[in-house]
Amino acid sequence: MSQSPLEALAAGSATVDATPGGATLDAASAYRSAWSALNKLLRRGYSWSGREQNCAFLNLAGRGFANVSAASGFDFPDDARGTVLVDWDSDGDQDVFLTNRTGPRLRFLRNDQDTGNASVTLELRGTRVNRDAIGARVELSLIDERKEVQLLLRGVRAGEGYLAQSSTRLTFGLGAPGRKIAGVRVTWPGGEAEDFGGVEPGKAWRLVQGSGRAEPLELTRAKSFAASKPVAPPVTLGARLALVRPVPMPRLDVVAENGSSLPLFGLQAGGAGTGTGKSVLLELFSTSCAPCVRELDEHARHATEFERAGLAPLALSVEPFEQRARAAAFLSERGWPFPWATATPPALELLDALAAILRDSERRLPLPASFLIDAQGALRVIYLGPVSAEQLLRDRALCDLGDGAQFDAASPFTGRWMFPGLPSDADFFEPRLEARGLAGPASEFARGRMTVLRSTPADLLHEFGRERAVAGRLDEAQKFFQRALAADPRHFATLSDWAIVLHRQERLASAAELYGKALALDPEHADTRFNLALALLGLGNRAGAESQLHWLKARGAESVAVLEQALRDFGAAK
Amino acid sequence: MLPGEPFERLGEVLQGNLAAALNPEASGWHSEARSDAVAAQLKKIAKVLEQPASAGGEALAGVFAEDFSFTHPASSQEVFADAAFRVLRVTEARGEATAAKAANPTTDRVGFMQRLMGMIAGASEVHAKFKFVRVYEEGVPGKPGLVTEAVLLVDGLRDGGAAQHNAWWQCHWFEDPAGKVPPRLWSVEVLDQHEVQARAASPRLFADCSEAVLGALPAWSEQLLPGLSSWRARFDTRLGLPLLGHAAGIAVGDVNGDGLEDLYLCQPGGLPNKLLLHQPDGRVVDASAEAGVDFLDFSRAALLVDLDDDGDRDLVVSAAERLLLLANDGRARFWLAGALDSPDTTSLAAADIDLDGDLDLYACAYASPYDHAALPVPYHDASNGMPNKLFENRGDWVFVEATAQRGLDQNNRRFSFAASFEDYDMDGDPDLYVANDFGRDNLYRNDGGTFRDVGAEAGADDISAGMGVTWGDYDGDGDFDLYVSNMYSSAGNRIAFQARFQAEASAEVRAHYQRHSRGNTLYRNEGDGTFEDVTPASPLNVAMGRWAWGALFADLNNDGWQDLLSPNGFLTEELSDDL
């Protein structure tokens, strides 16, 4: 990839386009400008307190601390975030998992100490307080040969550090062997204290509330693991960005070889795009960019396949129109079989802005860069850097996908979405284009917003689906529900009605999941809760159904009697 | 916004930082340009330490002034020794009687370099690094010109294990009035220094065994090995991949009752959260899909806690602007039992706040100025963040928001990153510490189920950029002390201590800004309901945990004393320039 010609455009302006601190700016706008400048720099690839090494401080037996970051091997230069302590290999010391912003995003550090120091592990079990005894504290007193006592205090917590919950098993280091455990006192949540006997060093024990005596806890001691140095792959500027949903393209001005100006695409009132009837691939190139040459040559060799697939490449020169003879010669030299044009500076700015906004980046477009746009004029995939003909032919299929399937294609990984919180195109693009000084395209999205407010597609689609469900046309109904959710993933009525359709089709697990999603939106919806209980019962999850019953009872719901009968029937059937 | 707290203060802080990275001269922060020039000189010394073979030539030409002198304490003493570490500390020079100081020997540049090289003689894999922590443009009394304070960190491997030297120096520089030659080092005075020798059988206490435990998972190389920046470059940002990341929640708990503790891991949008089941051989298997918890929504934090008192660990995960409550059937199959409205959640904590036998939930909330969600006003004491929430457990998966009823709505519009419950006053109920960015923290004392923010009166409100909190009895006196992880900024330390920074501001406001760059805070529980800030001034100590996040107390060497971990680092992107 070569440097973007757009960098040259930017070079004229200051690197930091705010914070002059002049008397003309008022304080509030200077403050906003400072943040804005900072955020832009961070999105341009600058680090901020980056490559810092994690720190460890050794407690010098109560006489201060010493920095042992490097000596302990804890000094990884990650952007570390969460940390948890756990004795993962059950060898009596604290191992550590760390989560990072940088790769690897998870690290496991085994504690390899060879100190000979003894330890003991305690797991608390509440009987009259919460089972895991969160909120309890343990005082363990040690006594040495000289009868000196050391008190070790630890608490059982759920949530500590940052974004992290460590093990609730407490591993106590006991220092040099020879010291004895003189006593173990647990103060349970609420303040009731209980002394436990029978705790011996070198083992793990369970302390059950009210028993006063430690029970041995058998923990599997893992084999030893090999150490290694995992390396994260470097961040590359090349990328294939499959969009979460098609984005209608604002008007794009290009100039044909004969000098006539060709407006392409454009948002209609209502927010739909203007298609060309074909899937279009815009390929940005310059005659001096070596990877562009290779890419155009490769695409030219696949002309027949592209045509068969209904994919229409349009090469777009980023060089000034006055130099079009050079681009023409360059393309004819390589027998470019498709049309070409010159991108106007506003068109380049628009493409650059779309790619930057969709990556939340302030980096300029590299070359080559390509944009796959469907027959209706909506952007589907952005390619930064070269893209192979093979990849394009595969992605051609994306152009025909409905919203839901396009959404799923945006991530290569499987999993479940709760509520993809997608802003509308207008909400998302309008302010961002505006902030980049692209008022024209921003206003195109704003026109789309007006219409969206007047009609609510999710309501309509749900209504169509509901009609068909009532008519017993369940498969058709589900197609409408799917489209309704693509328009608004938080549409309660669609979620609950679709769940009922699935329930009727005996697809209980899927039904229960959708009931759950609907309840997440409206936890007070008693009918949906009742339906969920029946689905859970059908799945054999009696406890789940009972818990819903308790909820309905607490609210005096009419469906309680029916549910109680269903639970009795379930019991009888067993 | 408070009167007399103008907006431009942050502008100046940020400008100071930006200036350091971009064009110090143009921005008016000439000291940053001068500090860059002396940094380049110290870098030459660091290079000689890392590659002693290069010492012979012209490597250090032009670094030292003719009459260079090095003042160092006469002796060092062993302050700690066990089977894991031996720590030597030189007698502290700063603050001691002048007579003692005068007795400190001085040497010339040859003696200086010999001493430095001696630190890591015979060691391999040597790393040496300087960090500037102060710049005095006008010099200090008796020493006109440019005076800087620097921290030197040197480490390497010796036969007996890893070795580490840390030193805090005051450096005095001779600057060419014509600006033709770089500044030359005139004198170095040791302010603090210590030396650590690791004695473990392995070269270091911690070994990176990530691949042994996780490497067999397809997700390891496909999802976990690449950093967030890789995913941000490849995914539509609308999937949920904000700049700062923080989709980094991790929770430990045995979810299937086999006695082995499992892991739940949060991920950015488009990447599925992971439930990793701990196997007897120490490795993990990925059970996220079967368990029904492989959420693709941007997720920040999770807890594995028993919420319905049926003897298994249920899951709470913040995703899609909600807390999803997932009930465990005891075999690590989860079903969605509820969801609570909780936008922009950061850390979660659970405790039985009303002592009714079940666990209640506390959710911190932020509003990221790095993603244009809100700008903190005023910068150093902001009160325009999102409110944190307390959800009271009423049984059967009914949770009721009771933030105000429980008194937790007090000072609740800060930018919260983390919270942790502990009974610091030992009256039987869990109290709550909340670490907040851009200002003061909260210490909510629980009195019979109702909370009151006593942060200020208890002396623990820690005005700074708080990111994490941990409790531990570091001094062994039987009560819980606090360690709060904060931002540490070298640039902030250099700028905020200069006379012309915020020259017109009150001493109090200036002190707030200086405090904002100081780093982590260690609070000693005085046992009478108050805390004493006992953070040592030396940058070699626990304050300098860098830009710190999930700091934790932990006994690393099993000697019964609580050590400290301070994982850190803000934003590493591909440009080497650091703001």
**Where is mean pLDDT largest: A17-26, A106-115, A523-532?**
A106-115
Please indicate if any CB of chain A lies within 8 Å of the CB of B327.
yes
Q: Which two structure tokens, joined as six digits, stand for B332? A: 């690590």
Q: Among the listed ranges B82-96, B172-186, B547-561, which one has the minimum average pLDDT value?
A: B82-96
Q: Which two tokens stand for residue A188?
A: 């349970």
Contact A523 B548 (CB under 8 A): no
C-alpha distances out from residue B367 to B370, B521, B551, Å:
9, 24, 22
Q: Which of residues 508-527 of A touch B (CB under 8 A)?
A: 512-513, 516-517, 519-521, 523
Is B268 an 8 Å CB contact of chain A? no
Of A30, A104, A112, the CB nearest to B8: A30
Q: Where are the domains of chain A?
A: 5-43, 78-223, 239-444, 457-573
**Residue B22's pLDDT is what?**
46
Lookup: tokens for A12: 């004229």
Pairing, β B250-253 against β B262-265 = antiparallel
Rounded to two decimals, what is the model's pTM?
0.89
Overall residue count recorded for chain A in this entry: 574
Q: Please tell me which of the candidates B161, B227, B469 has its beta carbon nearest to residue A105.
A: B227
Query: Where residue A511 falls among pLDDT bands split at 50, 70, 90?
Result: very high
Residue B45 confidence class, pLDDT cut points 50, 70, 90: very high
Q: Is the pLDDT of residue A539 over 70?
A: yes
Grade residue B27 by pLDDT with cuts at 50, 70 and 90. low
Provide φ and ψ at A104, rounded to 5°: -70, 140
Q: Taking CA atoms, what residue in A is nearest to B127? A: A70
pLDDT one-digit tens code per residue, A463-496: 888 888 887 888 889 988 998 898 888 899 999 9
Interface of B with A in 110-169 (CB under 8 A): 127, 153, 155, 161-164, 166
pLDDT value at A416 more than 50 = yes
Between chains, do B205 and A72 touch, taking CB under 8 Å as contact?
A: yes
Whether the pLDDT of residue B74 is over 80: the answer is no
Which residues, 6+ apart, have CB-to-CB distance to A103 below 8 Å?
Answer: A232, A233, B224, B225, B226, B227, B230
The alpha helices in B395-482, defined as continuous H runs, are none
Tell me the CA distances in angstroms from B235 to A382, A409, B213, one per residue in order.
Answer: 10, 11, 28
Residue A2 confidence (pLDDT): 38
* Confidence grade of residue A20 (pLDDT, cut at 50, 70, 90): very low
B574 to A76: CB separation less than 8 angstroms, yes or no: no
Mean pLDDT computed over A69-77: 96
Most confident of A395-404, A437-446, B520-529: B520-529
The residue in chain B having the minimum alpha-carbon distance to the alpha carbon of residue A56 is: B565
Distance from CA of A307 to the nearest CA of B (A): 28
For residue A69 the two structure tokens come to 């970051």
Cα(A412)–Cα(B244) distance, rounded to whole angstroms? Answer: 23
Tell me which CATH homologous superfamily contains domain A239-444.
Answer: Glutaredoxin (3.40.30.10)
**What dihedral do alpha carbons B258, A113, A139, B302 form, nearest 10°?**
-50
Pairing of strands B481-486, B466-472: antiparallel
Give how far A474 is from chain B: nearest CA, Å: 25
pLDDT of residue B15: 47
Q: Which of residues 96-115 of A touch B (CB under 8 A)?
A: 96-115
Token pair of B242 as six digits: 């904000």
Report, as an integer, the average pLDDT of B8-27. 47
Query: Any residues with CB less than 8 A from the CB of B247 and at least 6 apart, and which?
Result: B228, B240, B241, B266, B267, B268, B269, B271, B298, B299, B300
Residues 6+ apart with CB under 8 A from B309: A130, A131, B357, B358
pLDDT at site B24: 47
Which of B193, B45, B190 is closest to B105 using CA atoms? Answer: B190
Instruction: For residue B505, list chain A residues with Cβ-Cβ distance below 8 A.
Output: none
Q: What is the ipTM of this complex?
A: 0.94
Instruction: Give the gyration radius of chain B's Cα atoms.
Output: 26
Confidence of residue A261 (pLDDT cuts 50, 70, 90): very high
Find the mean pLDDT for residues A264-285. Answer: 90
Count the residues in chain B.
Answer: 579
pLDDT in tens, B194-209: 999 998 667 789 999 9
Euclidean distance between CA atoms B91 and A235, whole angstroms: 46
Closest to A213 (Cα-Cα) out of A196, A194, A188: A196
Cα B44 from Cα B27, distance rounded (Å): 27
Q: How far apart are CA B423 and CA B434, in angstroms?
A: 14
Tell me the mean pLDDT in the region B550-574.
96
Say which DSSP state A4 is in. Answer: P
| Residue A108 to residue B421, Cβ atoms within 8 A | no
Q: Which residues pair with B472 in a beta bridge?
A: B481
* Section B442-446 average pLDDT: 98
Handedness of CA B466, B470, B475, B480 (dihedral sign): positive
Residue A456: the pLDDT is 65
pLDDT confidence band for A11 (50 / 70 / 90): very low
pLDDT of residue B57 exceeding 90, the answer is no
Higher pLDDT, B205 or A4: B205
User: Residue B436 forms beta bridges with which residues?
Assistant: B416
Among A554-558, B17-21, B104-108, name the one with the lowest average pLDDT. B17-21
CB contact under 8 A, B8 and A27: yes
User: How many alpha carbons fall within 13 Å on the CB side of residue B229?
Assistant: 26
CB proximity A123 to B under 8 Å = no
- Among A287-296, B266-275, B349-358, B504-513, the minimum mean pLDDT is found in B504-513
> From CA B198, how far away is CA B27, in angstroms rounded?
45
Answer for the pair B526, B532: CB distance below 8 angstroms, yes or no: yes
Q: How high is the mean pLDDT of chain A?
A: 89
The pairing of strands A214-216 and A369-373 is: unpaired
Instruction: Kindly give the pairing relationship between strand B481-486 and strand B442-447.
Output: unpaired
Distance between CA B550 and CA B568 in Å, rounded?
Answer: 8
pLDDT at A26 (0 to 100)? 65
Between CA A58 and CA A287 the distance in angstroms is: 61
Instruction: Determine phi and psi for A496, rounding to 5 degrees.
Output: -75, -40
CA angle A217, A221, A223 (to 5 degrees): 175
The more confident residue out of B521 and B497 is: B521
Ranking A81-85, A214-218, A324-328, B106-110 by mean pLDDT, the lowest is B106-110
Mean pLDDT of B458-469: 96
Highest mean pLDDT, choosing among A41-50, B153-162, B321-330: B321-330
Q: Residue B2 pLDDT > 80, yes or no?
A: no
pLDDT of B315 strictly over 90: yes
Q: Is the pLDDT of residue B514 over 80?
A: yes
Contact call for B564 and A33, based on CB within 8 A: no
What is A515-533 written as a DSSP string? Answer: HHHHHHH-TT-HHHHHHHH
Q: Does A112 have pLDDT greater than 50?
A: yes
Topology, domain A457-573: 1.25.40
A contact test, residue of B336, B341, B520 with most A CBs within 10 A: B336
Spatial separation of the C-alpha atoms in residues A102 and B226, rounded to whole Å: 7
Pick the residue from chain A with its C-alpha nearest to B326.
Answer: A516
What separation in angstroms does the CA of A123 have from each of A151, B305, B333? 19, 15, 24
